[in-house]
Amino acid sequence: MNGILFEKMRFTCQQSGHCCCDPNIIVTLTYRDLLRLFTTLYCDFRLLLQKISFYTLDSTTSPILEKQMVLETILTSDGKVIPGLKKHSKKICVFYSRPSCSIYSSRPLACRNYPLAFVKEKELIMSTWVKNSPKTCPGIGKGSPLSQKNIEQRGKRFFKEIEKHNQVVRELNVEASNNRPLTAREALWTLIIYGESEYQQRQK
Ligand code: SF4
């Protein structure tokens, strides 16, 4: 297990923007991320589509790589897709506006936790650094050690959102297998509607 003891992890964001400009980082999106972005973008679906990419997996994708994906792929008539943030031609996140993120308060789950990655074995949550981040992120090693409680809480929130997202995607995929699969855009809209109805339920 590539876990690191919580007490040894130090991180304070230096606002370097390295993670937002790293061509090797893809920010994938849960349905709650999609709803947060949709709301931030004035509930304008066309505007949202300008900011989203559909990362597709096909027969050339290694099964090992597919297995490592935290988010399950969505079966659509456009292929097996995972929604993620678009990048500019220079491979910079579409929301990065020097010197910082232009949607900071609604940034996706992956950005909230970077450079922390979580691993779950049975009920034990462990934490490590996102691959390559110790080489590129100047915030690692800075500040006081992160507390075990803080990391555990973040890890729990992370897995709760991921597992719920994957459950919704699995239901969509069963539908897609039994009926006409949705297009990637229709699947995106369905996830937003799901997120919105869940939000409304929570408000009651
Ligand atoms: S959404 Fe914001 S924090 Fe996340 S990669 Fe893009 S600019 Fe950076």
Answer yes or no: is 143 within a domain.
yes
User: What is the rounded distance in angstroms from the CA atom of residue 143 to the CA atom of residue 191?
Assistant: 38
Answer yes or no: is 194 within a domain.
yes
Which atom of ligand 1 is least distant from the CA of 100? 7
| Ligand 1 pocket, residue 192 CB under 6 Å | no
Alpha-helical segments (H) within the chain: 31-40, 45-51, 63-68, 109-113, 133-136, 148-178, 184-203
| Ligand 1 pocket, residue 111 CB under 6 Å | yes
Q: What is the pLDDT of residue 1?
A: 41
Answer yes or no: is 109 within a domain.
yes
Answer yes or no: is 1 within a domain.
no
Q: How many domains does the chain have?
A: 1
**What is the residue-level pLDDT of the chain in tens, covering all 204 positions?**
444 555 579 999 998 999 999 988 889 999 999 999 999 999 999 999 999 999 887 777 766 666 667 899 999 999 999 999 999 877 899 999 988 999 999 999 999 999 999 988 887 888 999 988 999 999 999 999 988 888 889 999 999 999 999 999 999 999 998 988 999 999 999 999 999 999 999 888
Segments forming the whole domain that contains residue 110: 6-203
Answer yes or no: is 138 within a domain.
yes
Q: What is the pLDDT of residue 166?
A: 97
Burial category of 27 from C-beta neighbours within 10 Å (exposed 0-12, middle 13-18, buried 19 and up)? buried
Name the nearest CA neighbour of 71 among 34, 20, 125, 36: 34
| Ligand 1 pocket, residue 92 CB under 6 Å | no
Buried b (16+ CB within 10 A) or exposed e, 162-193: bebbeebbeebbeebeeeebbebeebbbbbbe
Answer yes or no: is 92 within a domain.
yes
Q: pTM value?
A: 0.90
Answer yes or no: is 68 within a domain.
yes
Answer yes or no: is 114 within a domain.
yes
| Ligand 1 pocket, residue 194 CB under 6 Å | no
